[in-house]
Chain A
Amino acid sequence: MLFGYWLEKEKCYFNLYEILKLVTEKQQHIVLRTENLSIGYVSKKEETIVASNINMSLYEGELVGLVGANGIGKSTLLRTLSNVQNPLKGAVYINDKNIKTYQPLDLAKVMSLVLTEPIASKNLTIFELVALGRQPYTNWIGSISENDLLEINKALELTNIQDLKHKKCFELSDGQLQKALIARALAQDTNLIILDEPTTHLDIYHKAYILKLLQKLAKETNRTILYSSHEIDLSIQLCDKMIVMTKDYVETETPCSLISNGAFNTLFPKDLISFDKKSGNFRVKK
């Protein structure tokens, strides 16, 4: 417990140092920015607002975790950020350009997705799956060029699945498949990768493995990686920033400041569990 507290403190200092570095260095490139964003659904009669007044700026090379209770609107937010559904108000900017002004093919070159839904055909080999990430760059029939091949191999290497590349998707475990899907997104060669719950169905080891992998990718390839997850304790340890979604507000901060301002306490109803600041974990009330 004490050790965990020390770790957290250490991490906080480290993060403070990072922030100072950020401020002193010349301003970094903002990959994803939202401006007074309101998200929700429009039905025939009325609009249902899921969350409003969302402002965030995600810089390049950042790993960002989105956390919140079930049904709070994480998926809605991700769908809005990835242009699957329209914002009710406000706007989303990618590389300082409104997402609505992008041509579909141009958007595919700056943002890639890893979704929760399974891919339609499990008969693809891993290589074919990752190669499909190059679709925005290939010609009319989808031929793989030298450069495409280079990117595909790089993606396979970064996710450490070169040995699996001739395996079919149906032969893989959930963890391996998740890595392959991340490799596919990497091959798409975008500034921003958005993942919707990449750790579901995985055991604790693979959850940590995937999130650690995402952290490594964000650092090594200088991409912005945004994911939603229920792994709050793991995310606190690994993320540069976290987005906390509650009924009342959406806050984007470093994990340390979120801990110190008590944001995690408001995540869930307090009758069953509470956030333990020292260990960065949730505890069941006895």
Chain B
Amino acid sequence: MLHNKTYTKSFIALTIVLVLCFFVNISLGSVSIPFNEVFKSLTGGLTANPSWQYIIQDYRLPKAFTAIIVGSGLGISGLLMQTLFRNPLAGPFVLGITSGASLGVALVIMGASIFSGILGMFLISKWSLVIAASIGSFLVLLTVLIVSTRVRDTMAILIIGLMFGSITTAVVSVLSYFSSMEQLQQYIFWGFGSLGNLSWQELAIMFLIYSLGVLLSVLSVKALNTLLLGENYAKSLGLNIKKSRLLIIITTSLLAGTITAFAGPIAFIGLAVPHITRQIFITSNHKILLPAVFLLGAIIMLICDSIAQLPSTDYTLPINAITSLFGAPVVIWLLVRKRKMLF
């Protein structure tokens, strides 16, 4: 049995690990910068080499913050979906939020020129991608939600999510058949996911929506805990199911939609982080799980990003590949070791 005291210890430990990962993440990269210089730059001092200063403050620092936002945000939205649908396989990716975002982006990148010529070219900016991804993910989630009220079977909802994935792939292949090499490449690169390339301004906007999402997720903690009993019990406890469900879905689409919009479809994190957290904290209480998922998501994303940098080489691997390559074995190992699938 775990007492609250043990939780406090774990939280302190995780926070320390997070800070460590943050510094390690910033000190690693294709250009090797000595650790004391990194520290100097972060504390406001001048580095020996001015370009180091630039690399750290305008590239690595926003990237590290993005990693924290992406990891924690996707982890939280995965947790919300798993509890709402009472299915350990749920996550933003499985339920088609990411597919929706991809479809939105594909339509803007590849469809714009087909449909509207010059106007289309004008549309392709960072912001139009962000907006398209947000709208796409929200619409898909809404559809899944409406369907979920009709079919009671949660497995059916997952299959519907997968179907949306198939529809997206189909539409994207039709679009790519008609689009140019450059457009195709732009779409594929978006699909790799990327934590870099965000300016401080973009980061600020992402952070704003993300904060709103996190705030809403904190507000839905009580509802989430009640939903652990199942919907009928939750109803008998006076929970307004429709309102709570809407709140949880809006929260998820804000978090996952925004993150996918700015950083591309990041696979795996949303599904795995809640499981890793449950295995470590051995609880289903969202008052513990939510902050734990936040910390672990951020830590795992920072580690993945550090690996993706291939330290001291000029190559950067797609973050999407790393999250799965690194994360999937971790989940398998945890499940094999503990033997018990906790949910």
Contact = CB atoms under 8 A, between A and B. Distances in A.
Q: Do A and B come from one complex?
A: yes
Interface of A: 82, 84, 103-109, 111-113, 115, 117-125, 128-129, 132-133, 135-136, 138, 140-142, 166, 170, 188
Dominant secondary structure at the B interface: loop
16 contacts: A103-B238, A108-B237, A109-B238, A113-B232, A119-B229, A119-B233, A120-B86, A120-B230, A121-B228, A124-B285, A132-B229, A135-B238, A135-B239, A141-B221, A142-B222, A142-B226
Contacts of A136: 237-238
B1 interface: yes
Interface string B215-249: 00011011001111110110111111000000000
Contact of B230 (A111, A119, A128, A142): A119
A166 B1 contact: yes
Contact of B285 (A107, A115, A128): A128
Given A112-B236, A117-B232, A123 B342 contact: yes
Given A108-B238, A132-B229, 19 more contacts: A104-B235, A104-B238, A105-B238, A119-B228, A119-B229, A120-B86, A120-B227, A123-B278, A123-B283, A124-B284, A125-B1, A128-B285, A132-B226, A135-B237, A135-B239, A141-B221, A141-B287, A170-B340, A188-B237
Interface residues of B, number: 29
Contacts of A121: 86, 228-229, 284, 343
Contacts of A128: 284-285
A136 B239 CA distance: 8
Nearest to B226: A135
9 closest Cβ contacts across the A-B interface? A108-B238, A105-B238, A142-B222, A121-B228, A120-B230, A166-B1, A123-B284, A120-B86, A113-B236
A121 to B, nearest CB: 4
Contacts of A123: 278, 282-284, 342-343
B225 A142 contact: yes
**Which of B86, B225, B227, B238: most chain A CB closer than 10 A?**
B238
Contact of A133 (B219, B232, B237, B240): B237
A117 B230 contact: yes
A218 to B, nearest CB: 19
Contacts of B239: 104, 135
A124 B228 contact: yes
A142 to B, nearest CB: 4
**Candidate in B86, B227, B233 with the most chain A CB atoms within 10 angstroms:** B233
Contacts of A124: 228, 284-285
Contacts of A117: 230, 232
A121 B236 CA distance: 17
A148 to B, nearest CB: 13
Interface string B303-343: 00000000000000000000000000000000000001011
Given A104-B239, A121-B86, A115 B219 contact: no
Nearest to B230: A120
Given A117-B230, A123-B343, A141 B222 contact: yes
Contacts of A119: 228-230, 233
Contacts of A120: 86, 227-230
A133 B218 CA distance: 20
B157 to A, nearest CB: 14
Contact of A135 (B222, B278, B285): B222
Nearest to B232: A115
A253 B227 CA distance: 37
